[in-house]
Structure 1
Amino acid sequence: MNKKVILITGTNSGFGWLTARSCAASGHRVYATMRDVSSRNADKAQELVRQAGITVLDVDVTRSASVTDAVATVLGHEGRIDVLINNAGLYATGITETFTDDDLDNVMDVDVKGPWRLIRAVLPHMRQQKEGLIINISSVAGRFSVPFQTVYNSAKFAVEGLTEGLHYEVRPLGVDVVMVQPGAFPTEIFGKIVSGSDNTVIAGYGELAHVPGQMGAGVAQMFATLKPDPQLVADAILSLIDTPAGQRPLRTVVDPVAGSFTASANNSVKKEYDQFMTAFGMQAMLS
C-alpha cells in the first residue's frame, strides 16, 4: 500500500472520526482537524492522537487564516498533501421560513464555503504535485430535496455543483475531485441540529409545524430497526483512496436503506451529462 498524507475536517465525531481512525489503521498519515481541541473537544483530540499515525490540528473551517495555517503546517511536516476529505458540516432542519439571513449564512459558511476554503488552500500544491484526491462529503439530500431540511439540502446541492464542475476541470491536471453521498446514519450530527431562529412564523403553519418532529421520530425508529452502520461511509472513503487515480467515480452512494433511489438517479443523469459534454466539445474531459 502506498502511504498517503491525508487531511480530514470535522473529525471530532461521526464520519470524520471513523474515517480518521480507519485511514490511520490502514497505514496512512492522518491530520485530523476539529475546533476547540484544548477545551470542548479536548477528550476527543487526546483519544485520536493516542492512535499511531494521527496528528490533531485545531482548525475552524469558517476562518480562512485557520485553514491556510493548517495546510501550511501539514506541508511543513510532510512536504505534501495527497488527500483532502471535506467532512465538517452542520445539519439543519425545521420550517425553512424560520431561517433568517444570519441562520442561512451560518450553515452555508460551514457546509459550502468551508470546503471551498480547504480546496483553494490545497489545490495549488496538488497541481504542483500533478496528483491528489479531494473527497467532499455530500449527501443523498444533495441529489433530492427533502421537506423541512431545505436549508441543509441547499447547502449539499451547492457541494454537489462545486464537486461536479471541479471533477472535470482539474482532472486533466492530475487531481481527482469526487464526492460521497451518505444516507441517514446514527451519528452525533443528530444531536447537533441547527434550526431557524425566527419562531414567529411557526404558528402560521398549523399542523405542518409538527411534521419535522414526526420525521425525527421516524428516523430514530429506522435507526433502531435497521441499524445502518456509519463505518460503511469510512470504508467507502478508504476504497476511493485506494482506487487508482483517474478511475474514481464522481459520486459514491452509501445508503443501505434507500441507496438504489439515488444511485439510479446518478446513473441516469450521468448518461445525459456525457452527451451534453460531448455536444459542447468537452468529451476529452470525460476520460
Structure 2
Amino acid sequence: MTNGTHERVWLITGCSAGFGRELVLAALAAGDRVVATARRPETLADLEERGQGRVRAVALDVTDSAQVSAAVDTAYEAFGRIDVVVNNAGHGAVGAVEELTMDELRSVMEVMFFGAVEVTKAVLPRLREQGSGTIVQISSMGGQVTMPGFGAYCAAKFALEGLSDALAAEVAPFGVRVLIVEPGAFRTEFGGGRMQRSREIGAYHVSAGPTRAAVDTMDGAQPGDPAKAAAAIVRAVDSENPPLRLALGADAVDAIRAQHQSLADDLTAWEDVSRSTAL
C-alpha cells in the first residue's frame, strides 16, 4: 500500500540476519526507504551502503523502552513518516516446560511478545494520525501449532497472535492494517547460536528429545528461502485485500491446516457435552 506522493518507509526490527535482512533488501528493491534496526547497528553497515541514503541503521533492543522511542523518532526525523512496521526481532527456544527456568520463559516473552507490543504501541499514535499504515507481526506456524520442547517459543507467538487479532479490529477504522506472518522452516539462523536451550531432564528425552535433535541439525536443511518469504510479505503489504494471517512454506500450510482439522474434530466430537452446560 504505497502512499500517494512518497515511496513507503519501513521500520524493521531484527535486521542483522534472516527475515529482517531480507526484508530490508526486498523493500529497497520495491523502491522504498528503510529504518533497519539491530542490537548492534554496525552489523547493518553493508545495508546502509547498499541503500545509498535510503537505509538508516539504528540501534534497537526491543526490550529497552528508550531505544524503542528513539528508533521511531529517528524514522520520522530521517524520512518524515512510517508506513510499514515489522516486528521481527526474536530467537528460538527449546526445552520442555519443566526444563524451563522462569527467567528463560520471561526472556523469550520479553523479546518476542512484550518487545513487539512496545514497538507497536510506539508507532500507533502516528499511524492513526496519518490514517494509514501496516503492522507486520512476524509470528510462526508455531503461533497456531506447537510440539514438545517448543512451549516457550510458541507461547510467545500464540500471545502475539491473540493480541494482533484484537489489534486488527481496533485499528481498522483508522486505515491501519495488521498482517500476521506465519513461516514454517526457513534457512535463517533459527537453530544456530541464537537458540535458547534449557537444561535437560532425562525423563523428557522421550518427548522433547526429538525436537532438540531436530533443532541441532536443522540449519542449512530448512526448505524455505528467506528471500522468497520477504518477497511474499511485500506482496501481501502491497495487496488491496491482504489476509490477516499469511502462512509461508508448504510445511506451514500443511501443519496449520491439520491443526484446524484437529480442532474441528474435537469440537464436533464433544459438541453435545459442550452444549449441555446451559442453565
TM-score by length of 1: 0.82
Q: Tell me the percent identity.
A: 37
Evaluate the alpha carbon distance shift between residue 94 and residue 268 of structure 1 in structure 2; reply closer, same or farther with a 3 A threshold.
closer
Contact kept, 8 Å, 2:12 with 2:86, in 1: the verdict is yes
Q: Give the distance between the partners of 2:237 and 2:62, measured in 1 at CA.
A: 22
Indicate conservation of the 8 Å contact 1:35/1:58, yes or no.
yes
Shift of 1:264: 6.9
The equivalent residue for 1:259 is: 253
Contact residue 10 and residue 87 of structure 1 kept, 8 A? yes
Is 1:253–1:263's contact at 8 Å kept on the other side of the alignment?
A: no
Q: Counterpart of 1:85?
A: 86
2:225, 2:212 → 1: CA distance?
Answer: 23
Structure 1 pair 204/61, CA: closer, same or farther in 2 (3 Å)?
Answer: same
Quick check: 1:137–1:181 contact (8 Å CA) kept in 2? yes
User: 1:208, 1:241 → 2: CA distance?
Assistant: 39
Of 227, 231, 238 in structure 2, the residue corresponding to residue 231 of structure 1 is 227
Residue type of the alignment partner of 1:233: A
Report if the CA contact (8 A) 1:130-1:174 is conserved.
Answer: yes
Taking the TM superposition and a 5 Å limit, the aligned residue runs for 1:11-160 are 11-37=15-41, 42=42, 44-52=43-51, 53-160=54-161
* Other-structure match for 2:209: 210
Where 1:65 maps in the other structure, the secondary structure is helix
- Which residue does the alignment assign to 1:280? none
**Match of residue 9 from structure 2:** 5
Q: What does residue 272 of structure 2 align with?
A: none
Provide, for residues 203-237 of structure 1, a one-character-per-residue CA deviation record: whole Å limited to 9, x for no partner. Answer: 343544632333336745853xxx42122220121
Closer, same or farther: CA 50–231 of 1 in aligned 2, 3 Å: same
Alpha carbons of 1:131 and 1:30: their partners in 2 closer, same or farther (altered >3 Å)? same
Output the aligned Cα RMSD: 2.2
Q: Show CA shifts across 1:176-226 (max 9, x none).
A: 012111001121122110022xx3x61343544632333336745853xxx
Which one-letter code corresponds to 1:173 in the other structure?
F
Count, aligned residues: 256
Cα deviation, residue 121, structure 1 = 0.4
Please, which moves more after superposition, 186-195 or 212-221? 212-221
Determine the C-alpha separation between the residues in 2 that align with 1:259 and 1:132.
Answer: 27
Q: Secondary structure at the match of 1:189?
A: coil
Report if aligned partners of 2:145, 2:255 keep a CA contact under 8 Å in 1: no
Gaps of 5+ in 2: 264-279
- Residues 129 and 266 of structure 1: is their aligned pair in 2 closer, same or farther, counting only changes over 3 Å? farther
Partner residue in 2 for 1:242: 238
8 A contact 1:232–1:254 mirrored in 2: no
Q: TM-score, normalised by structure 2?
A: 0.85
Contact 1:180–1:252, Cα closer than 8 Å, also in 2? yes
Offset at 1:97?
1.4
Name the counterpart of 2:276.
none
CA distance in 1, matches of 2:134, 2:206: 46
147, 170, 194: which one aligns with 2:196: 194
